[in-house]
Amino acid sequence: MMIAVLYATCLLVGFLVGITGVGGILIPPALILFSGQETHMAMGTALASFLPVGLVGTIMYRRLGHVDWHMALPYMLGSLAAWPGALLNAWLPAGPLVALLAGIIIFAGLCALRPPRPGSGSAFWQSRRGFFCIGAVTGLMAGLTGAGGPVLSIPWMIMAGVSPMTAVGLAMPYQVTTALFGTIGNMSDGHVDFTILPYICGMALAGLFAGVAVARRIPTELLRKLIGGLCCGLGLFLFLRLICS
């Protein structure tokens, strides 16, 4: 029964990622609650599950015209910071990391909820250097927490003036490199459970296909509100889980 709930959660996560690009942060607590994994193993396994989801998502959003490689490549290069982040994860206590991440996610979500103003957004953050910085900072946090960088980078890009659909599309190839190099770091510490990983990936991919199909039909303004609201909700969820643990 508990495993069935875990798989249902992964299906929901895939659906949310397909629509908004975020939601993977739910997998680590689901692994802890429903499969009995310890925190570092759950974070590492969750991060590894984002690799096939990011690959398939990249193909699907590329076909929709929302993956600009001119911006995606420096963004992906910055995400290499997930590797040292994953190595640091093994040495740092989980509690402060989760609290820090939750606070940043809520702040990013609130900023994404603000109606965009004409001409808003810094030219630097929409440049190749800006995208590299976004990828590096959020990649480091992804490696540290196993949360997946898009939960931070997507609202950050929206604040910088990138359209929500394009922000979600760019997050897909970024998620590939974040998951790949973060997983390499986690594997060196034995923090990836390969016995349950294929089942998690399969359910998440099934949800992803449904999510992308729905995302194509959602108005831009509604998508922005969904992303901001989901980020705020996930941040609060992390705080409550930390307090109750």
- Is residue 119's pLDDT more than 60? no
Q: Are 143 and 84 in contact (CB under 8 A)?
A: yes
Of 9-13, 143-147, 233-237, least confident by mean pLDDT is: 143-147
CA dist 14 to 6, 74, 137, 176, 241, Å?
A: 13, 25, 24, 15, 21
pLDDT band at 209 (very low <50, low <70, confident <90, very high): very high
CA dist 38 to 29, 172, 198, Å?
A: 10, 28, 19
- Position 220 scores a pLDDT of 78
Question: Is the CA virtual torsion 4, 105, 88, 142 positive or negative?
Answer: positive
Distance, in Å, from the CA atom of 4 to the CA atom of 81, rounded to the nearest integer, reads 34
Distance, in Å, from the CA atom of 18 to the CA atom of 11, rounded to the nearest integer, reads 11
- Is residue 118's pLDDT more than 50? no
More confidently predicted of 99 and 209: 209
201 Cβ contact partners less than 8 Å away, ≥ 6 residues apart: 49, 52, 53
pTM above 0.85, yes or no: no
Mean pLDDT of the chain: 83
More confidently predicted of 96 and 208: 208
Distance, in Å, from the CA atom of 243 to the CA atom of 23, rounded to the nearest integer, reads 21
Of 128-132, 199-203, 237-241, least confident by mean pLDDT is: 237-241
* Residue-by-residue DSSP string for 188-241: HTT---TTTHHHHHHHHHHHHHHHHHHHTTS-HHHHHHHHHHHHHHHHHHHHHH
> Nearest to residue 102, comparing CAs of 45, 165, 167, 151?
151
Tokens for 65, please give them: 């015209």
H/E segment holding residue 173: helix 164-188
Distance, in Å, from the CA atom of 45 to the CA atom of 224, rounded to the nearest integer, reads 29
Angle between helices 69-78 and 164-188 (to 10 degrees): 30
pLDDT above 70 coverage of the chain, percent = 93
202 Cβ contact partners less than 8 Å away, ≥ 6 residues apart: none
Of 2-16, 33-47, 144-158, 205-219, least confident by mean pLDDT is: 144-158
3-class DSSP string for 22-60: CCHHHHHHHHHHHHCCCHHHHHHHHHHHHHHHHHHHHHH
More confidently predicted of 103 and 206: 206
- Is residue 87's pLDDT more than 80? no
